[in-house]
Structure 1
Amino acid sequence: MSFMKIDLHNHSYYSDGFLSPSEVVLLAKKEGCDVFSLTDHDTTDGLIEAQQQADKLDLKLIHGVEISAMWSNMTIHILGLGIDINNETLQKGLKQHQEFRQLRAEKMARGLGGAGVFGALEKVKLVAKKGMITRTHFAQMLVQEGVCKDMRSVFKRFLTGKKPGGVGGKWAEYDEVIGWIHAAGGKAVLAHPLRYRMTNTKVRRLLNHLSGADLDGVEVVTGSSSSDEITLVSQWAKEFDLLSSIGSDYHGWPNQRVRIGHLQDMPQVNEMVWKDSSWLN
């Protein structure tokens, strides 16, 4: 199926993306995607609008969500792909995370105030188009305010660990999150495994634990993967008997380079996450 253009990890302004769900879907069509997923952080609110637009354009939209989860006191991201957005178990879990995000935004703003960045919450609300405020919104605000020159320098100085605005995660544990996704009939896929600042040994331990908790797949190709990274994750997918997924993790902020559907090829040796599903029909 390599001739099909598939991108299963993207964001709209319902979480920390820049564009509306309709605009993201329009862009996916323009970039030649055949199968596309919108996977906002801890919310499925953008999917109804995205589906209406996808129907008009005859684009196959996979309903998705990217859920934060705890593993070994670290935050990881698990995608739910092909979910039923009306599932009560899933929505109850997501609501719990949305409430924590609200609380976290207030704490982050207080932390930044202590470091001399005043009115952070009001300023960040102007950046976030919808109710959900994420770390990306705070980072973009710090760049816009001229406090930091770019996104990278934000995370060197603020918003992580013990730095001003750093707030620890209070997400559900990984096995619980996988449970929510399965309750909603979806496939649970670990997002961007090489982006957690872990050694390769630790990532393998993570994959081992998650596959033991019924994780379905892992993202082998992302918008920023090198071919060596793709080969490595592809080998891990085989080792832990996980399906392979592909997604750009497009957010669309003007200072980000990732583009929808511009992805390297998936290694042919892997079983794809869409096997045994109607996603490609």
Structure 2
Amino acid sequence: MKIDLHCHSYYSDGVLSPSEVVLLAKKEGCDVFALTDHDTTDGLIEAQQQADKSGLSLVHGVEISAMWSNMTVHILGLGVDINNEILQMGLKQHQEFRQLRAEKMARGLGGAGVFGALEKTQAIAKKSMITRTHFAQMLVQEGVCKDMKSVFKRFLTGKKPGGVGGKWAEYDEVISWIHAAGGKAVLAHPLRYRMTNTKVKRLLNHLSGAGLDGVEVVTGSSSSDEITLVSQWAKEFGLSASVGSDYHGWSGQRVRIGHLQDMPSANETVWRDW
């Protein structure tokens, strides 16, 4: 089976509509697919309608930002009930923070000579949610930076003009929202947090103690060595293994839906009980 449990639509920072993402997943040969937009489940009704037409098994998902040790990490909720009140109240809290953050980022960029940043960025975002990626796309489009990487380096992190610290819910609270909605909580892309391996293991230890169900062992950018390493960590902390491309559809992104390396056979998978 071809499985991809981490993808985005334009309801967060992806390029395509939920329907288009589902059609692409079907075209790429996926059997099971999850739409996991940042801090929102709003695209899932449209995605489900298209999945039903296309004969694709859609897992209802969401990618939620969370705080751990004053750092932001991302926890996927897979197989969630999108009508669950506890989950939706938590997501609403994050959506409100995202709006405040966008306004602060725009003010910071204005101080650096990038005027009308919020309006220009809103014109790029197809829905109401504005993410750092949308600001980055705007700065590239305006010719302020040559690519997304240089935008984050110069403008959108730390004490840079558009840098605004995260104020997300703590990791244990986020995990509790996912479980309240009947979902599995999975740490996304564990090797992408600019942490040493020792620190990642401490992260996994804390999150597994709070009820984390799984970890992404295979991502769209994983090397064979990285897959082996995270596979070992999954077994060490009693976590199920998951796979996800983290497809967004950005120009120049080499990641493709469903085109992932094989899962090590020794791991129990997050989808086993489904």
Look up the match of 2:108: 111
Look up the match of 1:235: 232
1:160 corresponds to which letter in structure 2? T
Look up the match of 1:246: 243
Look up the match of 2:162: 165
Give the Å deviation of 1:156. 1.0
Look up the match of 1:222: 219
- 1:176-224 deviations in Å (ceiling 9; x for gaps): 0000000000000000000000000000000000000000000000001
Give the Å deviation of 1:243. 0.2
Look up the match of 2:131: 134
Give the Å deviation of 1:9. 0.1
% identity of equivalent residues? 89
Counterpart CA distance in 1 for 2:254 and 2:158 is 26
Look up the match of 1:28: 25
2:68 corresponds to which letter in structure 1? W
Counterpart CA distance in 1 for 2:273 and 2:246 is 24
Residue from 187, 191, 197 that aligns with 1:194? 191
1:94 corresponds to which letter in structure 2? L
Residue from 37, 52, 59 that aligns with 1:40? 37
Question: How many residue pairs end up in the alignment?
Answer: 274
Look up the match of 1:13: 10
- Report SS of the residue matched to 1:158: helix
Look up the match of 1:92: 89
- Report SS of the residue matched to 1:10: coil
1:63 counterpart = 2:60: yes
Residue from 183, 200, 223 that aligns with 2:180? 183
Unaligned runs of 5+ in 2: none
Give the Å deviation of 1:155. 1.1
- TM-score of the superposed pair, with normalisation by structure 1: 0.97
Residue from 232, 257, 260 that aligns with 2:254? 257
Give the Å deviation of 1:158. 1.0
- 1:78-127 deviations in Å (ceiling 9; x for gaps): 00000000000000000000000000000000011111111100100011
Counterpart CA distance in 2 for 1:158 and 1:229 is 30
Give the Å deviation of 1:255. 2.4
Look up the match of 1:51: 48
- 1:12-66 deviations in Å (ceiling 9; x for gaps): 0000000000000000000000000000000000000000000000000000000
1:50 corresponds to which letter in structure 2? A
Unaligned runs of 5+ in 1: none
Counterpart CA distance in 1 for 2:204 and 2:235 is 11
Q: CA RMSD in A?
A: 0.5
Counterpart CA distance in 2 for 1:220 and 1:105 is 32
2:95 corresponds to which letter in structure 1? Q
Counterpart CA distance in 1 for 2:252 and 2:99 is 25
